[in-house]
Amino acid sequence: MGIATSMGGCAAIWGFEDGTARNESDATSDAPSADVLTVDDRAPASDGGADADADASTAPDAAVDATADSPIGIDAGDADAAEEDAAIDVVPETGDAADAGDPCTVAMVDPNAGIFVAGVGNDGPACGTQSNPCLTIQTGLDRASVDGLSIVYVQQGSYAESISLYPGITLVGGWQTSWVKDTSPTADSLVVLQPTSASSTVVATQLSSSARLCTLTVLSKAQANPGESLYGVFATGPGASLLLDDVVIVVSSGGDGVPGDGGAPPDASAGGGCASGDGGAGSPMGAAGASGSAGTFTSQGYAAGTGSPGQPGAAGSNGVDGGAPACVTCYGGCSALCGGTGSTTECGTRGTSGCGGIGGQPGTGGGGGGSSVGVYAWQTTVQITNGRITVGNGGNGGLGGPGGAGGAGGSGVVGNPGASCTTGCTSCGLACCTAVQGQPAGGSAGGRGGTGAAGGTGGGGAGGSSCATAAGDAGSVIATSTMMMTGDAGTGATGAPNGVSSTECQ
């Protein structure tokens, strides 16, 4: 969807949801999905609106360029609305002036207080000084923790990594190659952090004291895996708060749910030799699986709502009974007059029925769609000041797998013949008698078994959510002077619930 220009859209921009007022310094809107994340280092137009040459979706002071091909892109038809909305500036609250010694606002580095990181550095054992910076931010954080230093200075550049924070350490971007602080409105675009494979870009786990990030851009990886949720900042406690000052967060869309697998073919073939039946096809077919429930937030992040597998189909009925066997009179021998002596009866066995076909196996449930989350807080507090958060769409739920076909019924089996015996005596002349041998036949084969019923279809997965912020279990996200843009909620498959699109998901 594009940025709204209606009264409802204006209410969303200024922080009203469902008729409830939010902090009027928090601005929200919606943005459709796109596939590429880009950073715009252009300064805003002097009138506080969008630059004439800038992308129509660029918000005032925003370092993020949302093109029509990006996860937060805006359709060409929404350009006028975006320009109108872009003219609304977000003004920081008064009374928040930083101390002169605040590492997030000072113009000069302190060589003795921090570890230095630059794209031209190295991660050798002696890295971290201003003249010999480390190459990666994580190495800088590790070194600061070991050395008992409280600041990590990051020089402008793009860093392809996910990082884990330490308590008591402030990570500061916005430093030019000369290690002079950029004080322009686009200073947060100088340092861009984006992993290639991790689902979370910044991780803060059980901090014993507060950690802080300043003046940088946090991007998720470019594309989620099927069913995967992506997070700009993932903070879990219990622990102290995480502080974000002048941080831009852009997260790609969540991955669509994985479709369920079809029912497997019968693992055995029906044979003969079964009790008789009517030979009817199996009934009923397997019931469909239940649709996935709405996704929930846990200590591990977003748990997608996966559909349940279907039920197996009923087996087919056994075939009708086989035919009756033949019987013969057997003699123990021939008499002197060439007649049989000591008669008995010998019979074959009755033919048997074909076994009913095996019921079809069920399809598995479809996977739930992943979510796109800017900042996630579980049992901890995240405070955002002068930030900008843009998240993509929630992933669509996956379809349940189709049920497998039922197995064919088995053929009936002919009955076994009886034992050979003397069935008569034949005279061959004076004082000559020959015994005649015979054998009773088995009964005819019974009927073929009925085909098994198909297995049930798996349930559909629930849609994922688009959340600028999300919190749970006493966690909270407190945003001041922060613009938030959300994408569309993911669509649930086959009756499963859709996700939600909100600046504050719970």
**What residues contact 70, with CB distance under 8 A and at least 6 apart?**
34, 35, 36, 37, 38
pLDDT at 16 over 70: no
For residue 24, count other CB atoms closer than 10 A to its CB: 10
Closest to 456 measured CA to CA, from 358, 368, 365, 355? 365
Structure tokens at 431: 């004082």
State residue 146 phi and psi, 5-degree precision: -65, -40
Q: How far is CA 231 from CA 249, 295, 374, 391, in A?
A: 9, 16, 6, 9
pLDDT of residue 51: 36
Number of residues in the chain: 506
**CA R_g for the chain:** 38
State residue 457 phi and psi, 5-degree precision: -75, 140
User: pLDDT tens digit string along 249-306?
Assistant: 999 999 999 999 999 988 788 999 999 999 999 999 999 999 999 999 999 999 999 9
User: pLDDT tens digit string along 127-171?
Assistant: 999 999 999 999 999 999 999 999 999 999 999 999 999 999 999
pLDDT of residue 506: 85
pLDDT of residue 340: 87
Can you name the residues that pair with 322 across neighbouring β-strands? none
Mean pLDDT of 496-504: 98
For residue 68, count other CB atoms closer than 10 A to its CB: 16
The C-alpha atoms of residue 165 and residue 18 are separated, in whole angstroms, by 36
Mean pLDDT of 339-367: 95
User: pLDDT tens digit string along 407-445?
Assistant: 999 999 999 999 999 999 998 877 788 999 999 999 999
Closest to 281 measured CA to CA, from 357, 168, 204, 381? 357
pLDDT of residue 240: 79
State residue 132 phi and psi, 5-degree precision: -135, 70
**What residues contact 221, with CB distance under 8 A and at least 6 apart?**
194, 195, 196, 197, 198, 199, 201, 230, 252
The C-alpha atoms of residue 279 and residue 452 are separated, in whole angstroms, by 11
* Whole-number percent of the chain with pLDDT over 70: 80
Structure tokens at 66: 């949302």
Closest to 154 measured CA to CA, from 484, 146, 143, 168? 143
The C-alpha atoms of residue 238 and residue 217 are separated, in whole angstroms, by 26
The C-alpha atoms of residue 506 and residue 504 are separated, in whole angstroms, by 7
State residue 467 phi and psi, 5-degree precision: -130, 115
pLDDT at 49 over 80: no
pLDDT at 318 over 90: yes
pLDDT of residue 266: 85
pLDDT of residue 31: 39
**Beta strands 20-21 and 16-17, pairing class:** antiparallel
The C-alpha atoms of residue 70 and residue 31 are separated, in whole angstroms, by 10
The C-alpha atoms of residue 374 and residue 72 are separated, in whole angstroms, by 13
Give the distance, in angstroms, between the CA of residue 497 and the centroid of all CA atoms in the same chain. 15
Burial of residue 70 (number of CB atoms within 10 Å: 0-12, 13-18, 19+): buried
pLDDT of residue 37: 38
**Beta strands 114-117 and 432-438, pairing class:** unpaired
Mean pLDDT of 202-219: 95
Mean pLDDT of 465-485: 96
The C-alpha atoms of residue 197 and residue 218 are separated, in whole angstroms, by 14
Q: Is the distance from CB of 254 to CB of 225 less than 8 angstroms?
A: no
Q: Is the distance from CB of 344 to CB of 371 less than 8 angstroms?
A: no
Structure tokens at 353: 């029925």
Mean pLDDT of 480-485: 98
